[in-house]
Copies of this chain bind each other. A is one copy, B any other.
Amino acid sequence: MSTSFYEYYHGQTGLAVGVKAKLFSEQTEYQLVEVFETDTWGNLLVIDGMVMLSEQDEFVYHEMLSHTALFTHPDPKRVLIIGGGDGGTAREVMKHPGIRRVDMVEIDEAVVRASKKFLPDVGDFDNPKLKVHFEDGISFVQNVTEPYDLIIVDGSDPEGPAEGLFARSFIEACYQALSPDGVLSTQTESPWIASYHPSMNRVYGALESLFQYASPYLCYIPLYPSGMWSMICASKRSDPTGEATLERSTKGVPGLSGLKYYNPEVHLGAFALPDFVRTIFES
């Protein structure tokens, strides 16, 4: 077998990834979870036909969703990850030595099972700071009693089980579950794909009305549709592009090295939006 996996995202426009074998396939209660061995990207996790990550490019998404938010917070200790079943976001978060506890709430245990087996370097599941909950993230957030410093929404596209992660009620519950310095980061799809603009706009509107800061930013993900991916960093008190945040990023934290994408210049540069992108969020 040497052919391509295709994800069409915009008419007949899409992405082809060369695959050598299908390693895993399971239709769960929630979605179709697949892992392919590819020609040049390592193993590839696909959910409901949409690329989630490859071993070769996953560092971009995970570094940018986590470190941007972590350095925005003055002293993050408790982190909640909604989704993120592959483990990559938790891995990046736990590189910060100040982190004491990470709760990861993944609705579908098959994602974690497949990732542990076929993406063994993505997660850091044996880390004692990490507690994995196989639950619905939306109800988990509504029942938080001890607030978090950081909530990272690491879900898939707003179709299927992740749809609720783009709803205002969920974002309000996240706001309530955050401490007074709380920071939230979430992925918000590609600005190049018109069908996602309403979701991007809705999430931004909710964050912008609740948090003091709601700043969209961008990163390059080669196996996501169009290669341009947007995220939002929302914060109750500290400015994601403020001087204190950039100072923390520049100073770094002990033990955080070997990043391939995130650095202090990239942190600031990612928030520089082309006008056509700004318009989508703010319209």
Contacts and interface: CB of A to CB of B under 8 A. Distances in A.
**Interface size of A as a range:** 35 or more
Contacts of A276: 260-261
A233 to B, nearest CB: 15
Which one of A11, A268, A269, A274 has the greatest number of beta carbons of chain B within 10 Å?
Answer: A274
A271 interface: yes
Interface stretch (A37-45, A79-87, A181-189): A37-45
Contacts of A60: 274
Contacts of A57: 192
16 contacts: A6-B16, A11-B38, A11-B40, A12-B17, A13-B15, A13-B16, A192-B222, A220-B220, A220-B274, A261-B275, A262-B274, A263-B275, A265-B271, A268-B269, A268-B272, A269-B272
A218 interface: yes
A273 interface: yes
A71 B4 CA distance: 43
A19 B12 CA distance: 7
A270 interface: yes
A178 to B, nearest CB: 28
Contact of A218 (B12, B40, B220, B226): B220
Nearest to A190: B222
Given A8-B16, A10-B18, A265-B272, 7 more contacts: A11-B18, A13-B18, A13-B38, A13-B40, A15-B15, A192-B222, A220-B220
A10 B56 CA distance: 13
Contacts of A145: none
Contacts of A263: 272, 274-275
A227 interface: yes
A283 interface: no
B19 A16 contact: no
A13 B223 CA distance: 9
Interface string A26-40: 000000000000111
